Amino acid sequence: MERIQSINPARLAWCCADRGVTLEECAAELGIAATNLEKVMAGEPGLTFNQLRKLAEFFGRGALFFLEPDPVDEAQVHTPQFRTLANQKPELSARVKGLIERVERQRAVFLSLREELDDADLPRFAAPDLDGLSISEAARKVRHWLGLADTNDFESYRRAVEAKGLLVFQSNGYNGKWQIAKESPILGFSLYDSECPVIVVKKQPWESRQCFTLMHELGHLLLHKTSSIDDERDMSSHEGMERDANAFAGYLLVPDAFLKSIRDADRPVDASEFDDWLLEQRRAWGVSGEVILRRLLDAGRLSLQAYAAYRAWRDQPAVANEEPGGSRAYRHREPKHVFGDTFVRAVLDALSARHITLAKASSYLDNIKIKDVHLLERHYAGV
């Protein structure tokens, strides 16, 4: 097949450096001979158009990106939000960087669909005024703003946040382009935008961790009005903005009034039994024992020694009850789990109004098959 002669080698080199991969790693990932990429770097024709298209998809670019003769203007390629996250965590893996860019493209798709639909049913983001409030007061106001009931789980928290005009994505539990790898310490990130902020939560074996990550990221967006990416250390930090976001999440998930339901007299002596002692509250509030104990510690109802004993017990290696990962019989519902109800409804409404084609709807919904788009429509219609 004919090889393309006008590929810009400087752009290929920039993409490899930006993602932290070598030519050999790139070639192996794409199933392309490394010698073909070496030819491109030497200014020789080395790739067919189909191979170029695979290369472009791998780096999250269009094929024309590699045919432009000019050097890369990073300010045009990467958004300010992306650069904020990359600066916070310079060691970010290529996969996480790619995920951030895909999330940004999905947000752009949503805003475009919302504009075309001019649909009053699609929520608009308008942040509550938290200026001058303490962290606990801000959390109390936001909880009221979200309209939260006393009993919640991750999905009810997610629906409440989405109803306020934010998008909430959840990474996939299985290997793929929407997964945050299990070995990655990253637990979530948020992209600030005055029109439509996005929160991304890593799929976890324990939903309670997802709930805390969700509200931690919401804290960054509402308190700091900035994008953030957070790992396991950030979720227990006692410094700066991370401390504020952690305290905000704790107060929002476990308000002062909730603590009244906990009987100190029933607290066991052995820290390993604390989770059983708090079982009813943990289930009702969708939080971990850690979050409740931290709130009790801050309220002066738990000693630092008891809290430290619990942390030492909790940090011991344990086996999580992870979801089985084989069946994808409900592939048509996966876009709802990953992108959330608001995004999926916008795509299906645009399809119904003939603003987009079936092929476009499929591409926006993680490239599910056309038959799965129809199954998803039936799912939403309750058929």
Q: pLDDT digit of tens for each residue in the chain (383 aa)?
A: 688 989 999 999 999 998 888 999 999 989 999 999 999 999 999 899 999 999 998 888 899 999 999 999 988 889 999 999 999 998 888 889 989 999 999 999 999 999 988 766 789 999 999 999 999 999 999 999 999 999 999 999 999 999 999 999 999 877 788 999 889 999 999 999 999 999 999 999 889 999 999 999 999 999 999 999 999 999 989 899 999 999 999 999 999 999 999 999 999 999 999 999 999 999 999 999 999 999 999 999 999 999 999 999 988 865 444 444 445 567 899 999 999 999 999 999 999 999 999 999 999 999 999 999 999 999 998 86
| Ramachandran angles phi, psi of 214, nearest 5° | -55, -50
Residues in the chain: 383
C-alpha distance from residue 136 to each of 140, 150, 189, 219, 223 (Å): 6, 17, 22, 12, 12
The Cα–Cα gap between 120 and 142 comes to: 23
pLDDT at residue 326 in the model: 45
Task: Report the DSSP pairing between strands 198-201 and 186-191.
Answer: antiparallel
**C-alpha distances in Å from residue 120, one per residue of 15, 105, 115, 152, 222:** 40, 23, 10, 27, 23
Residue 30: both structure tokens together: 């794409």
8: left (phi over 0), alpha (psi -120 to 50) or beta: beta
Burial tier of 153 (Cβ tally within 10 Å: 0-12, 13-18, 19+): middle
* The model scores a pTM over 0.85: yes
The CATH code of domain 9-77 reads 1.10.260.40
Q: Is 205 in a helix, a strand, or coil? A: coil
Residues paired with 230 in a beta bridge: 188
Nearest to 107 by CA among 228, 179, 198, 218: 198
> What is the pLDDT at residue 74?
86
From the list 219, 221, 183, the residue with the least C-alpha distance to 202 is: 183
Distance CA 217, CA 188 (A): 7
**pLDDT value for 99:** 94
Residue tagged 């992306």 (tokens): 82
Which among 378, 353, 349, 351 is positioned nearest to 362, based on CA atoms?
A: 351
CA–CA distance, 171 with 364 (Å, rounded to integer): 16
For the chain, helix, strand, coil in percent to 5 are 55, 5, 40
Q: Tell which residue, 149, 22, 14, has the closest CA to residue 76.
A: 14
Q: Can you give the pLDDT at residue 325?
A: 46
Domain boundaries, the chain: 9-77, 94-253, 331-381
- Yes or no: say if 375 and 383 are a contact pair by the CB < 8 Å rule: no
